[in-house]
Amino acid sequence: MTEQQIQHWRMITDDENVVWLHLDKSDAHVNTLSSVVMQEFEQMLHRLEQQTPTGVVILSDKSSGFIAGADVHEFSDRTDEDEIFAYIRYCQSLFERLQALPCPSVALIHGYCMGGGTELALACQYRVGVDEPDTRIGLPEIRLGIHPGYGGTVRSTRLLGPLTAMDMMLTGRALSARAGKRIGLFDYVVPQRHLHNAARRIIQQRPPVRKTKALHKMLSLRPVRPLLAWQLRKQVMKKADKNHYPAPYALIDLWEKYAGADDMMKQEARSVARLIGTNSAQNLIRVFFLQAAMKEAARQSSFKAGHVHVIGAGAMGGDIATWCALQGLTVTLQDQSAERIAPALGRAARLFRKKLKSTRLVTAAMDRLIPDPDRHGLGRADVVIEAIFEDLEVKQQLFREIEPLIRDDTLLCTNTSSIPLQELGECLHRPQRLVGLHFFNPVEKMQLVEIVHADNTDNNVINNAAAFTKQIAKLPLKVKSSPGFLINRVLMPYLLEAAFMVQEGIDPGLIDKASVRFGMPMGPVELADKVGLDICLSVAEILTSHLGGKVPDILNDYVSSGYTGLKSGRGFYEYRKGKPVKHRAGEDNELIRTIQDRLILRLLNEAVACLREGVVDSEDMLDAGMIFATGFAPFTGGPLKYLHSLKLENQKQRFEEFNKKYGGRFEMDAGWNKLLC
């Protein structure tokens, strides 16, 4: 046995002349294919070409997984198209040399295998995945505003067929080991302990390499491609506007024009090089970094919970408890009686079945979620989350009761959506231990959690809360306790402006259309109905009572008539089978522009005020929060990134114009001058 090591790769040649090529990127938690890693890979390839081994196995030494993809940092600095093109061609040539090795090549995959990692695996003759829930394989480049560039579009469409491969690339979806096996991405999935033996056996026995199926060849024939491409474009158009998200369209064009052609590789590289320079890709890459920064901020503490005690099994508490149990924690769930806990358990069972599928895993998750009306879990829990009625006195009464019963080191959290933390904490002996964990509804879908702190909150407590949030696979955003915190405060003026427009008689469908055209995932009128007009009204009343402003009468009128939105079957829209009945909205471009400006300027103005008041630490974190909690047009990079593309003078005029027309709602915040000077 011989071993050679360079900075990131280790090459072991065993007694059977099989080369085991280990990637272990130095100074990094995860393996990425940075340019240095690729240059070293070239050195390894050179040795393999000289050495003629019996077989090559590529594997990762990182516990987190195989390879997370190319090093995205390198793409955020480079925008010179020709330089990027040359680099991509270089990487493609390495994978072609890997594919051309005269011996069998096997990729052994555990944990994450994404983007460039999957493309490397596709250049191997065989792929073996570990049969564990954390094995995830995919080509998610579309989420960064590009598409695969290291031969991934060519090899995946050939191996999996255009229907499956295009679906995978267009959605950017990650697949489990078994799903990957089903579509043919993995040749074998095996338990971790059999992984190395599986590779040895493949190299000894050389089973037939998976070939392109006849049907896949047929679907890629020149006369068939335009039809399929048309279908794909139609699907994509429902989700992504071409002006905002050019990448999926470029991918379809590439396949339609060049599938099967000798120069598809070259065209793939050209297309990616072009896309990387677009604002859309640069902003989506920024969003990717913002997400990473939020996770990084959670690393300031090593706090890890085993047991969570949730008080209040209503809409929020029940779902928070369920989510924590789904993430593997032991959860005790307290309410005033067992009957009040039962509906939450029913919802939990449904979610576990949907997410976990296997009966064994569902049963285990149900076992972790323990109804606890007599609060036996309180004294043992590492984290206590209060989610009872939104009433200061009721909450304070509860805190007085529980403070002597919980451990000194227990993280004490409240899910209050509006009560200032300092007021809540007044009843505690140690108010500095109380922190807000503001989850959003529905808990299962919303990634963001606001970590709310008062001036006197202990810093360690804030960091522990962020670490706990990350532990349960949510994104923590630290915010100062102030009315509406950050997200509701910035979103509410946008929703209220939409309500004012409905009150003026503007068609709700047109308002939503204008907002979606701007890039929002859903229009504000439909969103308000979905959140519940009663909830919007109560948040709006709290905010206006602290910050001034007016709640549109229409909101009060609708709520008092029982029209609370989707849940009552009628709000601003009428609902049939859970869907809003929308009339065909017109195409008045001038009006659409005005609607967009009214909505977005109110949102931006509040964002500027929050930043000026220090509700959130930085522009980056504000952008991240708004994107991950509200879906604010990701291709813009977030509200403040978008704001920086505007001209101060133009905006001043627009504010003045709107202020004259619509009353004092459009008072430009003082912070604009500093941001756009």
The residues that are catalytic are: 119, 141
Q: How far apart are CA 345 and CA 335, in angstroms?
A: 12
- Choosing from 167, 253, 390, 541, the residue that interacts with ligand NAI (CB under 6 A) is 390
Contact 88, 149 (CB under 8 A): yes
CB atoms within 10 A of CB 455: 9
- What is the DSSP pairing of strand 55-60 with strand 18-23? parallel
| Cα dihedral sign, 308-313-316-319 | positive
In angstroms, give the least distance from the CB of 339 to ligand NAI.
10
Which one of 188-196, 313-321, 403-411, 590-598 is the stretch in contact with ligand NAI (CB under 6 A)? 313-321
In angstroms, give the least distance from the CB of 40 to ligand NAI.
49
Q: Is 509 exposed, middle or buried (0-12, 13-18, 19+ CB in 10 A)?
A: buried
In angstroms, give the least distance from the CB of 319 to ligand NAI.
8
In angstroms, give the least distance from the CB of 262 to ligand NAI.
56
Binding pattern for the stretch 619-638 against ligand NAI, x by CB under 6 A and - elsewhere? --------------------
Helices 487-504, 533-547: axis angle to 10 degrees equals 110
Contact 121, 57 (CB under 8 A): no
Q: Is 106 exposed, middle or buried (0-12, 13-18, 19+ CB in 10 A)?
A: buried
Which one of 132-140, 227-235, 330-338, 560-568 is the stretch in contact with ligand NAI (CB under 6 A)? 330-338
For the residues of 211-241, what is the DSSP string, one character each? Answer: ---HHHHHHTSTTTHHHHHHHHHHHHHHH--
Contact 607, 621 (CB under 8 A): no
Nearer to ligand NAI, 322 or 605 (CB): 322
In angstroms, give the least distance from the CB of 433 to ligand NAI.
18
Helix (H) / strand (E) element for 435: namely: strand 434-439
CB within 8 Å of 358: residues ≥ 6 apart: none
335 binds ligand NAI (CB under 6 A): yes
Helix (H) / strand (E) element for 308: namely: strand 307-311
Nearest C-alpha neighbor of 141 from the set 296, 285, 293, 260: 285
Binding pattern for the stretch 262-301 against ligand NAI, x by CB under 6 A and - elsewhere? ----------------------------------------
CB within 8 Å of 387: residues ≥ 6 apart: 310, 311, 312, 314, 316, 317, 320, 414, 415
212 binds ligand NAI (CB under 6 A): no
Nearer to ligand NAI, 344 or 502 (CB): 344
Binding pattern for the stretch 77-116 against ligand NAI, x by CB under 6 A and - elsewhere? ----------------------------------------
Nearer to ligand NAI, 534 or 669 (CB): 534
Judged by CB under 6 A, the chain residues 407 through 446 that form the site for ligand NAI are 415-417, 439, 441
- Choosing from 185, 294, 297, 311, the residue that interacts with ligand NAI (CB under 6 A) is 311
Which one of 6-14, 124-132, 147-155, 388-396 is the stretch in contact with ligand NAI (CB under 6 A)? 388-396
Residue type for position 321 = A
What are the structure tokens assigned to 260, written together? 């099967």
Nearer to ligand NAI, 281 or 452 (CB): 452
Q: How far apart are CA 447 and CA 492, in angstroms?
A: 19
Helix (H) / strand (E) element for 128: namely: strand 126-130
385 binds ligand NAI (CB under 6 A): no
Binding pattern for the stretch 115-154 against ligand NAI, x by CB under 6 A and - elsewhere? ----------------------------------------
- What is the DSSP pairing of strand 174-175 with strand 136-138? antiparallel
CB atoms within 10 A of CB 432: 16
- Choosing from 260, 277, 314, 671, the residue that interacts with ligand NAI (CB under 6 A) is 314
- Choosing from 312, 425, 519, 524, the residue that interacts with ligand NAI (CB under 6 A) is 312
In angstroms, give the least distance from the CB of 341 to ligand NAI.
8
In angstroms, give the least distance from the CB of 461 to ligand NAI.
19
317 binds ligand NAI (CB under 6 A): yes
DSSP 8-state secondary structure symbol assigned to residue 208:
P
- Choosing from 169, 250, 388, 609, the residue that interacts with ligand NAI (CB under 6 A) is 388
The gap between the terminal CA atoms of the chain, to the nearest Å, is: 65
- Choosing from 316, 454, 465, 540, the residue that interacts with ligand NAI (CB under 6 A) is 316
What are the structure tokens assigned to 513, written together? 């259309």
- Choosing from 30, 273, 387, 501, the residue that interacts with ligand NAI (CB under 6 A) is 387
Report residue 522: phi and psi, to 5°: -150, 145
In angstroms, give the least distance from the CB of 556 to ligand NAI.
19
Residue whose CB is nearest to ligand NAI in the complex, by number: 314
Q: How far apart are CA 177 and CA 135, in angstroms?
A: 6
In angstroms, give the least distance from the CB of 72 to ligand NAI.
33
The half-sphere exposure of 458 on its side-chain side, counting CA atoms within 13 A, is 15
Nearer to ligand NAI, 195 or 333 (CB): 333
Nearer to ligand NAI, 127 or 309 (CB): 309
What are the structure tokens assigned to 334, written together? 């307290």
Dmax (CA) for the chain in angstroms is 84
Nearer to ligand NAI, 230 or 389 (CB): 389
Which one of 275-283, 311-319, 446-454, 464-472 is the stretch in contact with ligand NAI (CB under 6 A)? 311-319
Which one of 95-103, 208-216, 333-341, 631-639 is the stretch in contact with ligand NAI (CB under 6 A)? 333-341
In angstroms, give the least distance from the CB of 639 to ligand NAI.
21
For the residues of 133-165, what is the DSSP string, one character each? Answer: TT-EEE-GGGGGT----SSHHHHHHHHH-HHHH
What are the structure tokens assigned to 394, written together? 């009721």
- Choosing from 8, 155, 340, 368, the residue that interacts with ligand NAI (CB under 6 A) is 340
315 binds ligand NAI (CB under 6 A): yes
What are the structure tokens assigned to 129, written together? 């995945």
Judged by CB under 6 A, the chain residues 491 through 550 that form the site for ligand NAI are 535
Nearest C-alpha neighbor of 144 from the set 284, 316, 331: 284
Q: How far apart are CA 140 and CA 168, in angstroms?
A: 8
Nearer to ligand NAI, 125 or 488 (CB): 488
Contact 81, 274 (CB under 8 A): yes
- Choosing from 146, 185, 321, 398, the residue that interacts with ligand NAI (CB under 6 A) is 398
What number of chain residues touch ligand NAI (CB under 6 A)?
Answer: 23
- Compute, in degrees rounded to 10, the torsion defined by CA atoms 431, 436, 437, 441: 140
In angstroms, give the least distance from the CB of 343 to ligand NAI.
9
Nearer to ligand NAI, 281 or 629 (CB): 629
In angstroms, give the least distance from the CB of 124 to ligand NAI.
47
Residues interacting with ligand NAI, by CB under 6 A?
311-317, 334-336, 340, 387-390, 394, 398, 415-417, 439, 441, 535
